[in-house]
A = this chain, B = another copy of it.
Amino acid sequence: METKNVKSLGKMVGVLDCFSTTERSLSVSEIAERTGLPRSTAHRSILALKEVGFLEQERSRDQYRLGMRLFQLGATVLNNLDLQRKARPFCETLNSLTSESVHLCVFDGERMVFVERATGGPTGDQNDTIVMEISPCYCTGVGKATLAFQPQPIIDRVIAAGQDRFTAHTLVEPEALRRELEEIRACGYALDREEHKLNVRCVAAPIRNSAGRVIASVSSSGPAKRMSEERQHELAPYVVSHAEAISKQLGWVPPEQA
């Protein structure tokens, strides 16, 4: 499954995956240790990645960090992402159905990214403004809805990175979080019970791309007074069905379609 073609590419990605927002720069042996590769192999891979601009070597030391080439490719992906465009009508109907504010967030591998794009100005041509708001994925509705459906290694990685307590309700215990994710997988939607911000509760459901992977989530959120546990479960079916509609719009085909 993992190693069909171009096995070396797998190693390369393994090297890149050693880096994160907390592990900004690593040395050859740290990378070798994390990937389990022999030092010489790790070194050769790093050299290759440096040649193509996926890694850059720090000035003084033997430290490497992710290269600008990845930023370039990532920016292109962001630009080509037509999630927002395709999702907009569904977000709007969901908004009027629930009379609560609707959020659409993309998963970036460790955090949720709320992306808003304003193709602005009178010239109208290329001058985009993109506003990204980043929030943790373990204590928001959209975050948990997305995280629950990620492959196990990613979940482990997120949990291993540690959880900060934002409110009294934040799930900071790894086990509690894992149970919560289990439950989300079972029922198909996630609830935020003031885990990130006090007085904010929401219901969120996952969005799949054409490859079937969960890449984002939508949520309907409101103040605690209006958004009782009961109301959350009441709204859930609407949120889920709209998330599914968006998934289909992205080219996802539900399984068992004979």
Contact = CB atoms under 8 A, between A and B. Distances in A.
Interface of A: 2, 4-6, 8-10, 12-13, 16, 19-21, 24, 44-45, 47-49, 51-52, 54, 56-60, 65-81, 106-111, 113, 123, 125-136, 164, 166, 197, 209-211, 213, 215, 250-253
Contacts of A48: 4-6, 9
Nearest to A51: B4
15 contacts: A4-B47, A4-B48, A9-B12, A10-B52, A21-B80, A24-B80, A56-B211, A59-B250, A60-B251, A66-B80, A70-B74, A70-B77, A75-B113, A128-B134, A130-B132
A250 B222 CA distance: 44
Secondary structure at the A interface, as helix, strand, loop or mixed, is mixed
What is the total number of copies of this protein in its complex?
2
Contacts of A66: 73, 76-77, 80
Contacts of A24: 80
A240 B57 CA distance: 24
A24 B131 CA distance: 21
